[in-house]
Amino acid sequence: MIPGKKKKHPNVSLTGFTLIELLVAMAIIGILVTIGSSAINYARNQAREAKAKNDIDEIYKAITMLATDGNLWPGSQPVDRANVTSGNEICGDGCTFGLSSNRAGLLATDGSYDNWSGPYIGAIPNDPWGHQYFFDTDYRILISTSAPCNGALIGCMDAAVVGSYGPDGVGNGSYNADDIIKIIAK
């Protein structure tokens, strides 16, 4: 072999990618990233909704135990019926008091609950979107589906519910379809 000369391999091609091939590869990667991030966001939203439902179930159980012991719901409200009086909402966000206050009776009592044997729950967390859970005894639901009325005037009824304002955080009298609720009584 002559010094300074490179030996060529017969089966090796030294050509690179064309600009079109690189752009196609980048477009495919972009599409895969978009699909992946959409799936992650969907899974994250489903997990938040599942956590809210689990928290609501725990609060519901605490409200049921409070009602069993003292025959009152949070806020010293009568059990098993809608209460349409002003100020019956217990929500913390824009309300006079929240579910973790002594007046609600779930964690501690303000003295207005006979036979109080709580605390009925360890703590009242915020929902996955950072808002306080609510208890409302005149929440408007559709008679046909028990879903939030979402502003409808016909075909609705009052119900006692515990719930979350959902992802948009809109509530306290402006409830809508993204609310996550559990009906306690109709």
pLDDT tens per residue, range 14-52: 567 788 888 888 999 989 888 888 888 889 989 999 999
Which of 82-96, 112-126, 158-172 ranks highest by mean pLDDT? 112-126
More confident residue, 110 or 149: 110
Number of structural domains (the chain) is: 1
Asked if residue 16 is part of any domain, the answer here is no
User: Residues with Cβ < 8 Å from 57, sequence gap 6 or more?
Assistant: 182
Question: Residue 57 pLDDT > 90, yes or no?
Answer: yes
Report the alpha-carbon angle 78-83-89, nearest 5. Answer: 100
Asked if residue 15 is part of any domain, the answer here is no
- Residue 154: per-residue pLDDT: 82
Report the alpha-carbon angle 50-65-174, nearest 5. Answer: 50
Tell me 121's DSSP state: S
Alpha-carbon dihedral 158, 163, 168, 173, rounded to 10 degrees: 30
- Residue 169: per-residue pLDDT: 80
Please tell me whether the overall predicted TM-score, pTM, comes out greater than 0.95 for this model.
Answer: no
- Residue 7: per-residue pLDDT: 58
- Residue 33: per-residue pLDDT: 87
Question: Residue 152 pLDDT > 80, yes or no?
Answer: no
Print the domain residue range for 71. Answer: 22-185
Task: Name the E strands within 33-152.
Answer: 72-73, 77-78, 134-142
pLDDT, the chain, mean: 84
Asked if residue 14 is part of any domain, the answer here is no
Asked if residue 170 is part of any domain, the answer here is yes
Asked if residue 79 is part of any domain, the answer here is yes
Asked if residue 17 is part of any domain, the answer here is no
Asked if residue 10 is part of any domain, the answer here is no
114 residue type, one letter: D
d(Cα 162, Cα 23) in Å, to the nearest integer?
A: 53
d(Cα 54, Cα 157) in Å, to the nearest integer?
A: 25
Tens-digit pLDDT profile for residues 123-141: 999 999 999 999 988 888 8
Q: Are 110 and 120 in contact (CB under 8 A)?
A: no
- Residue 39: per-residue pLDDT: 85
More confident residue, 176 or 126: 126
pLDDT band at 61 (very low <50, low <70, confident <90, very high): very high
CATH number reported for the structural domain that contains residue 31 in this entry: 3.30.700.10
Q: Are 59 and 121 in contact (CB under 8 A)?
A: yes
Average pLDDT over residues 111-116: 89
- Residue 14: per-residue pLDDT: 55
Asked if residue 4 is part of any domain, the answer here is no
Average pLDDT over residues 70-84: 84
